[in-house]
Amino acid sequence: MTRDDIHIEIASDARLLCALRALIKTYVGLQGFPVERADEVVLAVDEACTNAIRHSYGGRPDQAIVLTLRSLSDGIEIVLRDDGTPAPRERLAPRELVPPDPGTVMPGGLGVQIMYRVFDEVTFEPGEGTGNRVTMRLKRPPVRDAM
């Protein structure tokens, strides 16, 4: 096991999300990803945290979310854990998003689908009794040869 680069616990308070985004953006940039990719990663991790706050913890702001970031040989891995209500598996399946008729359909579960689109690999592990764990991996872009 390599050591995590960053291991933090944050409260499930939506007010803190902006601070977390700044951290993720800096970390992903440091790992050699271009700015556009870093922006997508920030969004997808934000969506994962939002789901933990809204669904796992039902909006309670005083619960714990644990986030670890680490560098792999070919990319990065971000793991998010909570101790809330396990997500129902049907919410976590990848699906094709079709533009809805906005007059009748409300988008739901958008965050999960954004996570699938941004990362190369997303694994949801809802706990048996409590808790959720989601592992997100992204390959590093190929390094260009110096001219």
Stretch that binds another protein, among 3-11, 82-90, 98-106, 126-134 (CB under 8 A): 98-106
Q: Smallest distance, Å, CB 140 to another protein? A: 20
Q: What is the C-alpha end-to-end distance of the chain, expressed in Å?
A: 36
Among 88, 103, 129, 142, binds another protein (CB under 8 A): 103
CB of 135 closer than 8 Å to CB of 122: yes
Per CB under 8 A, does 62 bind another protein?
no
Per CB under 8 A, does 37 bind another protein?
no
Distance CA 21, CA 35 (A): 13
Q: Judged by CB, which is closer to another protein: 4, or 10? A: 10
Residues that bind another protein (CB under 8 A): 14-15, 17-18, 21, 36, 39-40, 42-43, 46-47, 50, 53-54, 97-100, 102-103, 106-107, 110-111, 113-114, 117-118
